Structure 1
Amino acid sequence: MGFNLRSAIMANIQGNSEDQVEATILDAIQNGEEKMLPGLGVMFEVCWKEASSEQKNELCELISQGLQG
C-alpha cells in the first residue's frame, strides 16, 4: 500500500480560504522548514493548472528574476 503525498496534501488544504492559503505560504517561507516544501509544490501545481497562458508566462518571469539575484 503506497502513500500518495500529493493526495494527502490536497485533502488537507482543499477548501481553504484565500486568507488560509496566504497564511500557509507565509508560514512556510518564514519558518523555512524543509517539510513544508511538498505542500508549497502542490499549491504551485494547483496555481499552474488554473493559470492562463499569460499568467504562466508571468510566473516564469517572476521566478526567473528571483533566481537572478
Structure 2
Amino acid sequence: MPSGMELGIIVIVILLLFGGKKIPELAKGLGSGIKNFKNALKEEDEVVMVKPEKNETDEIKLSKERIS
C-alpha cells in the first residue's frame, strides 16, 4: 500500500498529465464502467441460477427408476 507521500506524488502526476478539468470526466467514465461490469456479473449469475428444463435424458432416467 502506498504511503501518504507516494499518494501525493501520484496525485500530482495525474494532475499534470490530465489537467483538472479532465479528471472528473475520467472518474465518471471509470465509475460507469465499474457499474456496467457489476451489472453484467449480476445478470450472468441470474442466467446460471435458472433451472434448466427437463430433457429426454431426465425422462429416460425417471422411466428407469419407475421400472426398477
TM-score of the pair, normalised by structure 1: 0.30
